[in-house]
Amino acid sequence: MKPTPFIQICDLEKSFPLKRGLFAHLYQQQGYKNPHVHALNGINLSIEKGEALCVVGETGCGKSTLARVLMGLIAPSKGQIYYQGQRIDNLTHNERMPFRKSMQMIFQNPYTSLNPRMTIFQTLSEPVSFHNAKLTKEQVDDKVAELMLSVDLNPDLSDAYPHEFSGGQRQRISIARALSVDPDFIVADEPLASLDVSVQAQVLNLMKDKQQQHNLTYLFITHDLTVVKHFANRVVVMYLGQVCEIADANTLFTQAKHPYTQALISAIPRLDNNAITPIKLAGEVPTPLHKPTGCAFQARCHYANDRCRNEVPIPMQIDVSTLIACHAVEEERL
């Protein structure tokens, strides 16, 4: 039997009601239909200890929702999440407390993820003293200084407010905050999206270092495939709330199978000018509200046939590490 995965996500679904408020609630009780937006549609995923799993996809594919559901910021509509074999998705805020120390998150926007009215010391010391009530004031001070040093920030700056730092420095403070409770799993939701290229490299290197030092497991969410190639062990490609392809990072970039993954990879802006022409996808990205029948990607896919238009493809194990949900691959039409 396979050992329990570090984190396992089973049949995870999340839908948001389109209309909210008292009247929508009453109408629904009367039997009126309130349309839902399906952000996640049956996600199955397992994360192994020590790996960096990247989730890639375009706007609206549900990758951020996945992160928030996983961290318990929003409740799933259906499905289960297991952390080292223990179910965590149905726990209350207090029941989840033991897992808070081991699961942390780094956010996309370094300008809103730090409280503007708290100094860096306050931001970092709060979780430290909260989770280690026994520490004396000096020990907390030491720990905060240590944290700031570990992300290459001068501890003398600890009494400054976030607005006095640059974007990259703020993102390093966010990383320090996540590390302050010594987690073993970190969800990073587009941590580089609002940073400049030269600063992205700093943050990415730092995250990589921390992974080695603390034996961290990452779920790294991004839309930037060049980062994925550099950072990930395995990659999950998502499209409209569904998993298209799961593969090793190397395999994905050399022999992507799913037509959507192929299009994504071909569209990366490259420096070697004319090497690859991007695959043109037909049509527009459908919104989760107007989801096509059958395969979510069929309307834009060049290989779609009648089966794709009617039947939802089931993820299929191609080899040891590759999982693909595509009729065309299954029928070897590709």
Partner 1 sequence: MSYPVREITFSISPRRWKHIWAGFLSDKLAVLAFSIFVFYCLIAMAAPLIAPFDPYDTALIDLLNAEIAPSWISGDERFLLGTDAQGRDLLSAIVYGTRTSLSIGLLAVLMQASIGICLGLISGYFGGLLDTLLMRCADIQLSFSNILIAIVLLAAIQSIFGLAYYQDHAMIMLVFILGLAEWPIFARTVRASVLAEKQKEYVDAAYLMGISQIRIIFKHILPNTISPLFVIFTIQIANVIVAEAALSFLGLGMPISQPSLGSLISIGFDYLFSGIWWISVVPCAVLMLLILVINLLGDVLKNHLNPRHYKD
Partner 2 sequence: MALLEVKNLNVSFGAKHNAVPVLFDISFILHRRERIAIVGESGAGKSTLGFALVNLLSKPGHIHSGTVKLDGTNLTTLTSPQMQKIRGKRIAMIFQDPMVTLNPVITIGKQMVEAIRAHTSINRHDAKKIVLEKLAQVQIPAPDIRFDQYPHELSGGMRQRVIIATALLLTPDIIIADEPTTALDVTIQAEILELLKSMCEENNVALILITHDLGVVSRVAERTMVMYAGRIVEEGPTLEIINDPQHPYTQGLLNALPQMTLAGHKLNQIPGSMPSLSDRPNGCAFHPRCQYAIEKCQIKQPNYIYSGISTVACHVLEDMISETSSSDSAFLNDGKDVL
Task: Name the residues that contact partner 2, by CB under 8 A.
Answer: 58-59, 166-169, 196-202, 204-205, 208, 223, 225-227, 229-231, 249-250, 263-264, 266-273, 278, 280-281, 284-285
Residue partners of 120: CB distance under 8 A and separation at least 6: 114, 148, 153, 157, 158, 159, 160, 161, 162, 165, 173
Q: Which of residues 252-311 bind partner 1 (CB under 8 A)?
A: none
Q: How far is the CB of 259 from partner 2 (least distance, A)?
A: 11
Choose, by CB under 8 A, the member of 5, 127, 155, 167 that binds partner 1.
127
State the binding partner of 107 from partner 2, partner 1, none, CB within 5 to 8 A by kind. Answer: partner 1
Strands 234-239 and 103-106: unpaired
Q: Which residues contact 150 (CB under 8 A, 6 or more apart)?
A: 176, 179, 210
- Enter the tokens of residue 129: 């003293």
- Cβ proximity to partner 1: between 2 and 93 the closer is 93
Smallest gap, in angstroms, from Cβ of residue 166 to partner 2?
Answer: 4
CB of 93 to partner 1, least distance (A): 7
Q: Please report, for residues 104, 259, 279, 313, the alpha-carbon distance to residue 310 in angstroms, rounded to integers and kept in the order given.
A: 40, 18, 24, 9
The smaller minimum CB distance to partner 1, of residues 118 and 267, is found at 118
Contact set for partner 1, span 163-182 (CB under 8 A)? 163-164, 166, 174, 177, 181
Task: Please write down the HEC assignment for all residues of 141-160.
Answer: HHHHHHHHHHCCCCHHHHHC
Under rule CB under 8 A, residue 220 binds partner 1: no
C-alpha 30/C-alpha 78 separation (Å) is: 23
Sheet holding 78-83, edge to edge: 36-47, 7-17, 78-83, 86-87
**CB nearer to partner 2: pick between 166 and 310:** 166
Nearer to partner 2 by Cβ, of 208 and 309: the residue is 208
* Minimum separation from the CB atom of position 197 to partner 2 (A): 5
Task: Give the separation between CA 306 and CA 236, rounded to whole angstroms.
Answer: 26
Which H helix or E strand runs over 203? helix 197-214
Select from partner 1, partner 2, none the partner in contact with residue 112, using the beta carbon and a kind-dependent cut-off of 5 to 8 Å. partner 1
- Nearest distance from residue 97's CB to partner 1, in Å? 5
CA–CA distance, 43 with 81 (Å, rounded to integer): 10
Binding partner of residue 126 among partner 2, partner 1, none, CB under 5 to 8 Å per kind? Answer: partner 1
Sheet holding 52-56, edge to edge: 103-106, 185-189, 217-222, 52-56, 234-239, 242-248, 323-324, 316-317
Which residues of the shown chain bind partner 1 in the complex (CB under 8 A)? 21-22, 68, 71-73, 93, 96-97, 100-101, 103-105, 107-109, 112-118, 126-127, 130-131, 152-154, 160-161, 163-164, 166, 174, 177, 181, 202, 205, 209
